[in-house]
């Protein structure tokens, strides 16, 4: 199944997905940045928590949602501290050189930074070589942001 998923994602790159998404600084859907989940909750509740529609903050070209006013204030004061790496795009995807959507339940905090993944299966692969993937994804993300 993982091979099928990776092949499907690889096929999307030549079709223009890479060019369309690399210009977006934040992975966002109609529900908001990171599908409407509260980025601060990963740190202070140690789990993904859906944000509320009336607790939002616009930052870096996207609308972020929060589970509490306190979390929104923490984010406002230090958004880079709480925002996921690579704009909330799948960290494993960027390690492979392309953007991919995420599932908020597939997450990890490494050295005080939030990383999101495509799904739990991809996250398991991500964790096998996490340090290597972080380094490669950082380079790929920086290069894509130059475009």
pTM: 0.84
Domain ranges for the chain, please list them.
17-146
**Structure tokens given for 51:** 């944000």
**Structure tokens given for 37:** 């989940």
Q: What is the largest CA-CA distance in the chain?
A: 43
Query: Minimal CA–CA distance to 96: which of 121, 69, 133, 123?
Result: 133
Element (H, E) at 131: helix 130-146
Give me the tens of pLDDT residue by residue for the chain, a chain 147 residues long. Answer: 554 444 444 444 433 344 334 448 999 999 999 999 999 999 999 999 999 999 999 999 999 999 999 999 999 999 999 999 999 999 999 999 999 999 999 999 999 999 999 999 999 999 999 999 999 999 999 999 887
């Amino acid at each position: 199944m993982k091979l099928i998923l990776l092949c499907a994602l690889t096929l999307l790159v030549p079709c223009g997905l890479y060019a369309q998404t690399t210009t977006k600084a934040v992975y966002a859907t109609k529900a908001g940045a990171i599908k409407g989940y509260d980025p601060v909750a990963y740190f202070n509740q140690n789990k993904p928590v859906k944000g509320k529609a009336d607790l939002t903050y616009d930052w870096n070209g996207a609308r972020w949602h929060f589970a509490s006013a306190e979390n929104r204030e923490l984010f406002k004061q230090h958004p880079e501290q709480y925002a996921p790496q690579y704009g909330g795009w799948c960290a494993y995807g960027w390690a492979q050189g392309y953007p991919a959507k995420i599932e908020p339940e597939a997450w990890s905090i490494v050295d005080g930074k939030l990383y999101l993944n495509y799904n739990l299966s991809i996250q398991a692969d991500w964790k096998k070589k996490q340090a290597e993937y972080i380094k490669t994804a950082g380079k790929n993300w920086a290069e894509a942001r130059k475009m």
